Structure 1
Amino acid sequence: MNKTVKDLQNHFRQLRLSETAEELPQLLREAEKESWTYLEFLEAITSFELGKRELKSIERRIKWARFPYIKTLQEFQVEEQTALTSRQLTQLQEFSWLEQQYNLILLGPPGVGKTFLAIGLGLEAIHKGFQVYFVTMGELIQLLKTQEFAHKSQVQMKRLQASDLVIIDDLMYMAMDQREANLFFQLINHLYERSSIILTSNKSPEQWTELMGDQGVMTAILDRLLHRVEVIHMNSDSYRMKNRQHIF
């Protein structure tokens, strides 16, 4: 065998290991410097390729999530609010609630950190291997109304419905007519016990019925959303709704 490094790099590229192909000269230098065994060298190559693939997967899932901005949980000032303790925030980051299809409802006026917390949890979930989708309520209604004839909406709805965690921001910021309410119910019914949902709203669930065109539909929606849910009030102590299972 008389292969050059460039020959080996081309072989790696043919095997669709392009990241390893680029890194190969450096890996060979390090192997020689550290006197790696064959096994150690193979482990270094495979670990490098897997690490790069995981990084690309995370980047792709962050792009698909469509966050309006990037804010991590490390930037969330837990000591500046009373809704969550550090221990409770740590519990949320363990994502056992997501694995069990629990929902979170973050309530409070604008500017208290509802969306910040939702995005932070979404980013953390992506890094843990989950698929996440972020959408405002206004965008969601538009997607639901155009998915039958708009290809772009169809693509986005498929990604949303395939996600482990769906974040709906500014829920019930405006009234819904009967058609919109029915479309929203169909989505919630599809996600029920398939995905977890984080909802942010400046109105409590008791007020949502007033903004829904059909109270019967709203009752059905609430029945699914509140089956297993944690409600966190972002401008005062957390409170619990009666007759429901909860996380903390």
Structure 2
Amino acid sequence: MSTKERRTAYKTIEEYAAYLRMSAIKQNFAEVIKNAELKDLSYEEFLLILLQKEWDKRQQSGQESRIRIAEFPYKKYLEDISVDDLPEDARKKFKTLTSLEFIQDGQNIILAGNPGTGKTHLAIGLGIKACIEGYRVLFTTVPLLVNQLKESRSQKILRAFGNKFAKYDLVIADELGYISFDKEGSELLFTHLSLRSGRKSTIITTNLSFERWSEIFHDPVMTAAMVDRLTHKSYLINMNGNSFRLKETKAWMQT
């Protein structure tokens, strides 16, 4: 093939790759061709390498897209967690939780304990790992979720919101216990979390023990029903312990 013919062929390959949205092939085919010629690769080896690059790029793009759609407030990875500094119960169950088998089984996780012990970090770390492994994840705070449910009802799009909410493989509902709700908010939250029970997984972080949830919902019957449904076959993690933030603040002051 002459130089002119090769340039024409390369241009055509780029156009086809762009039209078919194969960005990795468009970006790498020239280098892969050169490498194949140098190493005298077979057609099968050449094609495998090229398709592998496209596959890897799409996998990475999918992971980044799922992490972006999940709306994490910041990125915290499980690898960043100092496991030895976690409360004892979390240390014991860390390996089990990070296997993500709870998502496959539609089980919930309740992380309950005093502020600063790593509840949100652990929840986000599990959520990001779930995104990387192909699960659809949503991160929200409980107050924000209640507001969204109320707005959806007033705009008459609650069913659509509920259908979308029910399809997430994992919902992380952070900060249960910081703000109490009125009757409408409590009922909406109870209904939508209950719809996921036994089917899809939910992680809840809270600074309150179950005995104090009635302070948030103001309805003993509804509170008992919610606790019963959320805790059935769930992982209940005692996160009471020393505050990470306090430890970091003390270290910062010393330096």
Query: Which TM-score applies when normalising by structure 2?
Result: 0.85
Matched ranges for 1:1-248 at <5 A: 4-84=9-89, 88-149=93-154, 159-236=164-241
Question: Residue 147 of structure 1: SS of its match in structure 2?
Answer: helix
The residue aligned with 2:246 is none
CA RMSD of aligned residues (A): 2.4
One-letter amino acid matched to 2:228 = D
CA contact under 8 A between 2:70 and 2:139: conserved in structure 1? yes
Larger radius of gyration: 2
Over residues 129-178 of structure 1, what are the superposed CA-to-partner deviations in whole Å (9 max), with x where a residue is unaligned? 11111000111111110113559998876553321111000112222111
SS of 1:130's equivalent?
coil
Q: Distance in 2 between matches of 1:222 and 1:84?
A: 20
**Distance in 2 separating the partners of 1:216 and 1:154:** 25
Comparing 96-105 with 145-154, which one deviates more in the overlay?
Answer: 145-154
Aligned letter for 2:135? F
Instruction: Please tell me the residue identity of whatever aligns with 1:186.
Output: T
Q: Please give the secondary structure, in 2, of the residue aligned with 1:142.
A: helix
Which consecutive residues of structure 1, in runs of 5 or more, have no partner in the other structure?
Answer: 237-248
Structure 2 gaps, min length 5: 242-255
User: Is the Cα contact below 8 Å between 1:122 and 1:165 reproduced in 2?
Assistant: yes
Work out the CA distance in 2 between the residues paired with 1:223 and 1:8. 59
CA contact (8 A) 2:112 2:205 kept: yes
User: Cα deviations across residues 112-144 of structure 1 (Å, max 9, x unaligned)?
Assistant: 110000001111111111111100011111111
- In proportion to residue count, which structure has more helix? 2
- Partner Cα distance (2:111, 2:73) in 1: 17
Which has the higher mean CA deviation after the structures are superposed, 124-133 or 157-166?
157-166
Identical amino acids, percent of aligned pairs: 32
Q: CA deviation at 1:8?
A: 1.2
Q: Write the deviation string for residues 20-67 of structure 1: whole angstroms up to 9, x where unpaired.
A: 112211111221222211001111111111111111111110011110
Q: Check conservation: 1:73, 1:120, Cα contact below 8 A.
A: yes
Equivalent pairs counted in the alignment come to 237
How far is the alpha carbon of 1:98 from its aligned partner?
1.3
Aligned 8 A contact 1:143 1:153 in 2: no
Return the letter of the residue paired with 1:52. Answer: K
Q: Which moved more, 1:220-229 or 1:58-67?
A: 220-229
Q: Aligned AA for 2:193? A: I
